[in-house]
A and B are shown apart, each in its own frame.
Chain A
Amino acid sequence: MEIIKKGVAGTMQSSDLMVFVEPADTLRLEIESTVIKQFGHLIRAKADEVLAKNGVTAGFIRLTDRGALDYAIEARIETALQRASAA
């Protein structure tokens, strides 16, 4: 999946997250979270997995997390990617 424009998904409500995606030459992932100390590793692992599953090799991906569970992280990244790759 190729990121051709900016894409945003999610909300700032608790248990949700916002995902910001934009084109870039390399793949870069930045994570901000209310539970970064305890769950930073799991959030990153999930994000990496979803990016790989969607064949994303380049782009700047930023997550602002409010304690979302894995299913929501996956869904929000997917949506942002779909929005950023749609013509």
Chain B
Amino acid sequence: MIIIGEKINGFIPKTLKAIEARDGDYIKEIALAQQECGADFIDICAGVAPEVEMETMEWLIGLVQEVCTVPISLDSSDPQIIVNCIPLCSQPGLINSVSMEEGKTGTVFPVIADTDWKVVCLTCNQEGIPDDGQTKFAIARDIVACARSYGIADDRVYIDPLVTTLGTKSDSMVSFVEAIELIRAEFPEVHITSGLSNISYGLPYRRGINMQFLCLTMNAGMDSAILDPMDPYMQSVLYATNALKGNDPYCMEYLGAYRDGLLPVKPE
């Protein structure tokens, strides 16, 4: 699993407080802690007003690069901000995210075409967010075709089939899994990722829903997730599902995670 650490995000109240107070130590601390818990990318989302987004991104990128060796995931809904942040990064990372709406791919794809940057692409378009697997897949196919036309190899593309909320739509995960299976069958090299916590919105014991959702979607072929790597419950799902799928000979990784204190129980 490719883990995108979500904690440096201005939409999280504690992080926003640190951003507003320019508390660089807190940012560095959670950046490093996420890397130590196995994050493959450190996501950076300023979550502030558009006028100060660029300077905030620049400040955050500098801090994360001071302490982390893993690459950055540039998280903004403004493709121009993303493009402007690329030269600030010391190594190619991940762009989070683009979609086929409003020419976002047109702004970002030419810039990353001849680089090693990877890109998260959402399955939404001008008509909004589809809630059936077939339409999600059709949009994913358009995205892959568009990326290929810029010479962006399939394994640099991360499709996020945008999960809807279980509380308002009973087949949210069913259609999400259908999309995963269709994408997997046609584009084996493409990565599939998800922000996933939207699934449990409005329901009690959200963690329980999030955990089982992660397990079932990993089983269907999702190979990346945007989550809090410091959450031992999510870690237990990541390691246990990997082992249960037969990908962890002698359960060595699972046992390692236990001994490293990543699981919700203390090692004896």
Is this pair of chains taken from one and the same complex? no
Chain B residues with CB under 8 Å of chain A are none
Chain A residues with CB under 8 Å of chain B are none
